[in-house]
Amino acid sequence: MAIVNRTPDSFYDKGATFALEQALRRCDEVIAQGATIVDVGGVKAGPGEDVSAAEEIDRVLPLVTAVAHRHPGVTVSVDTWRSDVADEAIRAGARLINDTWAGWDPELVEVAGHHRVGYVCSHTGGVTPRTRPHRVHFDDVVADVIAETTALADKAVAAGVPEEQVLIDPTHDFGKNTFHGLELLRRIDEVVATGWPVLMALSNKDFIGETLDRPVGDRVAGTLAATAWAATRGVAAFRVHEVAETVDVIRMTAAMAGEAAPLNTVRGLA
């Protein structure tokens, strides 16, 4: 799942794909690199300028429409917590709703179910959208993640979302600190064991930055290490900025596990 943000204040790319032409060019690029899902966002996840639902719709709809038309074999996802934005995006061609704020708008899952599109079930511990965690505590963060995401997954299916199109996301950094993020990776097999496909959004996040004491621009190595760890433990999808590098990590771990063949074998065989 490639991240393409139509925001002027993204924590990572600082608005590099805010302009529609640049965003569409980036979509073409990540799809060529191997992305099978493109996740379009119109509002920065963290604190920042207020963005109305109308403005969010104006940001995401042109890109959703263009990508759905140009790349019909690719799933277009919309990263939103608002049901009215999701409804418009689905009508424009989106086929997955990435609800990163864990059902904050209770009608969002109903919209996904009504249109029978996919839905990502997140975990935030009840944090208000676009706020940062403060002195958060869980008796057992993994158990809490499993309970919240699987309950939302059951709700999604009951609302009409096709069961095979439901994913659960532990949602690193949202309502959690760095120790929680590491614990989730350490015990990710427990989340995978729920049977729901697991999506992980690890890319260049603060828990990686704090673990390695690296600024945002220097977190790729840490991201890829975490990705390799999670891939070998059955995580189904990764939401990322660096698509080509992530595809290589997934392909290499699969080859080491005997689940994928090398792509070009000539050395010592001729």
Active-site residue numbers? 205, 239
Asked if 184 and 175 touch (Cβ cutoff 8 Å), the reply is no
Which positions ≥6 away from 264 have C-beta within 8 Å?
Answer: none
Neighbours of 140 (CB within 10 A): 11
Coil, strand or helix at 95: coil
Cβ-contact 71, 31 below 8 angstroms? yes
Q: Hey, is 79 helix, strand or coil? A: strand
Which amino acid is it at 85? V
Q: Where are the beta strands (DSSP E) in the chain?
A: 2-5, 37-41, 75-79, 96-99, 118-121, 166-168, 199-200, 237-238
Q: CB-side exposure of 182: number of CA atoms within 13 Å?
A: 10
